[in-house]
Structure 1
Amino acid sequence: MLEVIKNRRCIRTYLNKRVEEEKIIEVIKAGMQAPSSKNASPWEFIIVDDSELLEKLSTTHHRSVHVKNAPICIVVLANKDKFIKAGKWIQDLGACTENLLLESVNQGLGACWVGVFPKKKLVNKVRETLNIPENLIPYALIPIGYSEEKNIFIDKFDEDKIHRNKFNI
């Protein structure tokens, strides 16, 4: 698993190759294994594989252009009906989204986290595009596919960012 973590990168180019249903399900299963406050599991997902909808989602904002070239996009949603502690769902969905990205790498796929929440304009655009009910909040778009780009290790370790017991000034 450490290799998957070390090699995860945002991949924004995708081959015109179908992603197997089994792999998609494994990615979503990994998302559902994320920790959540009070075990609320406030996530839901939309699997988008329709080229017209992918094209529309790619116009959500300037950092979502590559969505149209992905064979699928998983839309990560927060279900308001599952909120138990105020604001905790944001952390829950972050953990869920990271699990989706890690399992994508594990499955030999490329993926990228395209943030939607908390920008109201982006949330509304995704909601409108996919006819999402009000009790669900669009959190992120995760385009996924096979890519010629490689998930390669880039050492981000920085000892200066580690502090013991108190902040070092």
Structure 2
Amino acid sequence: MLEEIMIRRSIRSYINKNVEEDKITQILKAGMQAPSSKNSCPWEFVVVDNKYLLEKLSATHHRAKHINGAPMCIVIVGNSNKFKKAGKWIQDLGACTQNILLEVVNQGLAACWVGVFPKLKRVDYVRQVLDLPKELVPYAIIPIGYSLEENEFVDKYDESKVHRNKYNK
């Protein structure tokens, strides 16, 4: 898994090839393995492969246009009925989203995290496009597909961001 962490990056271009169901299942399983506060597992997923809906979701905001070029996406939503501690669900869905992104790389695919929450205009728009019930809060959209681009290692390590014993006096 370390290799997937090191080469994962946002890719916004996809070729015209469908993602196999078994790969989608593995990606969703990885998301569901994420840690969550009080083991609440507040996530649910909407798998979208309908071209009309992908086009509508690509209008979520100006940085979401590439959704339209993907063969599918996973919309990660939080189920407010499972929010046990205020605000913790946001961290839970962040961990879930990261697991999904890493498994996408493991499956030989490409993806990009498109933020929805906490912008209420975006949340409401995605809820309307997908006709979601009020208890499901759109958190992120992950367009997924095959790409001609390759995930390549980019060294992001920055020693200046590491502080040892500096702030715990």
Range class of TM-score, shorter chain: over 0.9
The residue number in structure 1 matching 2:84 is 84
Structure 2 match to 1:2: 2
Aligned residues: 168
Offset at residue 22 of structure 1 (A)? 0.2
Where does the alignment leave 5 or more consecutive residues of structure 1 unmatched?
none
State the Cα deviation string for residues 126-162 of structure 1 (Å, max 9, x = none): 0000000000000000000000011100000011111
Task: Tell me, in whole angstroms, the C-alpha distance in 2 between the residues paired with 1:133 and 1:31.
Answer: 22
Distance in 2 of aligned mates of 1:163 and 1:23: 40
Superposed CA offset, 1:13-32 (max 9, x none): 00100100000010000000
Using the TM superposition, give the Cα deviation of residue 166 of structure 1 relative to its aligned residue in structure 2, in angstroms. Answer: 2.5
Normalized against structure 1, the TM-score is what? 0.98
- The CA deviation at 1:167 is 3.6
Structure 2: 5+ residue stretches without partners:
none
Distance across 2 between alignment mates of 1:62 and 1:152: 26
In the other structure, the counterpart of 2:133 is 133
Give runs of aligned pairs for residues 104-123 of structure 1, distance below 5 A: 104-123=104-123
Alignment partners' CA distance in 2, 1:64 and 1:139: 14
Q: SS of the residue aligned with 1:14?
A: coil
Cα-to-partner distance string for 1:25-80 (whole Å, 9 max, x where unaligned): 10000000000000000000000000000000000000000001101110000000
Give the alignment's Cα RMSD to 1 decimal: 0.9
Query: 2:97 aligns to what SS in structure 1?
Result: helix
Structure 2 CA distance for aligned equivalents of residues 18 and 90 of structure 1 = 30
Q: Are residues 1:66 and 2:66 paired?
A: yes
Q: Counterpart of 1:36?
A: 36
How far apart, CA to CA, are the structure 2 residues paired with 1:141 and 1:166? 38
CA distance in 1 between counterparts of 2:3 and 2:97 reads: 18
Counterpart of 1:73 in 2: which secondary structure? strand
Q: Give percent identity, aligned residues only.
A: 67
